[in-house]
Copies of this chain bind each other. A is one copy, B any other.
């Protein structure tokens, strides 16, 4: 994700551009990809987070999980926090625990700099096409406005969700609801089909009724109902079961932090956790819950 987002940003902004990745190969690959334009528009590369913070006033991070964010922002001598000053502006686009996100941003702000959370939705495709949605948690409108030009180079829908952490909250709320409705559509389509209904007809009925949802209309999990969705391509591509397990795990954490009850959400989390460990499903799109429900011993050679 980060690589493709950086591609778009580099091509669209005028200011000097600094990159860093813990994996040196990623840095080299990025430079190689843009070598034709390097003469007019150089790419600097840093050797540590602190170096990025020292050289750039606006820093955008894209990291896999909460501990990575804590590490890169706060822990150790080389972390971002040790390189910032009052001109620094830190935008974290990682999807992480909303409580960690809030804490990290507050520590940055306590040091006189500014920080926001801006997780994305839209997937690899959206990152590549610069059509991501950014859900922004910013404690002031100024912070939101300051981020907007940068984010607009990488996405087309930039939403201010409220104070610090609300970008994360919006992201996991949406994805928890997506997980629940996807499982719901999968159960429903499977039930109807087992009872003898033609899948496309059933989908049409749902989509013109009160059962309609994104998962039934745009991303139907039953193979053959829609072209060009993962369910019609052996559940390949798309948003993997383990990513959905991760996002729903963050939702469960947030629910516990806020003493909120999420009964279907908690089960959705467990089902995606289990699916991401089940032989044949680890790397499949999250709509493969349909196949799992529909699984039967008569199809011994299914995988």
Enumerate chain A interface residues (CB-CB to B < 8 A). Answer: 98, 121, 133, 135, 157, 159, 161-163, 165-166, 169-170, 173-178, 180-181, 183-185, 187-192, 194-198, 201-202, 204-206, 208-216, 218-219, 249, 251-271, 273-274, 277-280, 282, 293, 295-297, 299-300, 302
Looking at chain A's contact residues, the main secondary structure is helix
Residues of B contacting A208 in the complex (Cβ-Cβ under 8 angstroms): 133, 157
The 7 tightest CB contacts between A and B, nearest first, are A213-B213, A180-B184, A177-B211, A194-B258, A266-B266, A174-B211, A177-B188
- Beyond A266-B267, A268-B264, is A195–B169 a contact (Cβ under 8 Å)? yes
In this complex, which of A185, A187, A282 has the most chain B Cβ atoms within 10 angstroms of its Cβ?
Answer: A187
Additional A-B contacts beyond A256-B273, A263-B271, A277-B297 (17; CB < 8 A)? A166-B195, A173-B206, A174-B205, A174-B209, A174-B211, A177-B185, A177-B188, A177-B206, A180-B188, A181-B213, A191-B258, A194-B259, A210-B215, A264-B268, A274-B295, A280-B297, A282-B297
- Beyond A187-B264, A259-B273, is A197–B279 a contact (Cβ under 8 Å)? no
Shortest CB distance A170–B (Å): 5
12 contacts between A and B (CB under 8 A): A121-B210, A162-B201, A177-B188, A177-B206, A183-B264, A184-B184, A191-B258, A249-B256, A263-B270, A266-B266, A274-B295, A279-B295
**What CA separation (Å) do A130 and B292 show in the bound complex?**
41
